[in-house]
A = this chain, B = another copy of it.
Amino acid sequence: MPNSSTTHEVLTAVFQVRHFPADAVASRSGAVCHAGGATELAVLLWQRARDPQADAWSLPGGLVRNDEDLITSARRQLAEKVDVQEVSHLEQLSVFSDPHRVPGPRTIASTFLGLVPLPADPKLPTDTVWHPVSDLPEMAFDHGTVVEHARTRLAAKLSYTNIAYGLAPAEFPMSTLREIYCAALGYQVDATNLARVLGRRGVLTATGNTARSGRTGGRPAALYRFTDSCLRVTDEFAALRPPV
């Protein structure tokens, strides 16, 4: 039987927007580091203790059991690294199936994108660390490629879905949402227009609450929440819309 020894694993790129202190940032080159560090998109990685690829960094995941579907498997594997309650969004990415992508028995990898919202800060095992995506360490196997795919997918979906609900707190001022978009997209986004775009599409709902202004003054910010807490496509057709 030519396929008897093929196994199937799940790998998840879990992202969160996190603040990295100045000293950690200073050593790197291209990072946007204003005083006090930088707010960046981070991915959860663990460092391999044993060969193959000892010391290289891996995505959380593992073999799929015979009685679970892939998303269940992904959640189960993540439970070993973070509190699963904190994972607000999980979706399938593509499958990596090169017969020689890992040494040993042939293993097909189904990859997932996971999101953890602010301000969660789960306790992590000692081998597991959040890494800024702008400065990834040496990655095991094809895991670096998986992270790139996940990043690209996240950036794309930020522009035509409400996927940011997976990164944002339950209630937030526009300035926080702006930081999230800037970190995840990697370029500056205007809070004014962001509010208008997402407002028009019905993605955001005003809660009526306001944040207290900071020590340094300033008008108190209105607080918003995401209208839906599951993925919704909000701008389906860029062109070639169906006639009304």
A65 within 8 A of B: yes
A2 contacts B67, CB within 8 Å?
yes
Q: How far is it, in angstroms, between the C-alpha of A216 and the C-alpha of B70 when the chains are bound?
A: 58
B237 x A159 contact (CB < 8 A): yes
* Number of identical monomers bound together in the oligomeric complex: 2
In the complex, which of the residues B8, B189, B235 contacts A8, with contact meaning CB atoms closer than 8 Å?
B8
Question: Measured between C-beta atoms, what is the minimum distance from A165 to chain B in Å?
Answer: 16
Chain B residues with Cβ below 8 Å from A2 are 65-67
Q: Which residues of B contact A95 (CB under 8 A)?
A: 70, 92, 95, 110
Which of under 10, 10 to 19, 20 to 34, or 35 or more describes the interface residues of A? 35 or more
A159 lies within 8 A of B238 (CB): yes
B66 A185 Cβ-Cβ under 8 A: no
B188 x A65 contact (CB < 8 A): no
Additional pairs, 14, CB under 8 Å, beyond known A6-B8, A8-B8, A92-B95: A2-B66, A3-B7, A6-B64, A8-B108, A69-B97, A70-B97, A71-B97, A158-B240, A159-B237, A159-B238, A160-B239, A181-B240, A187-B242, A197-B239
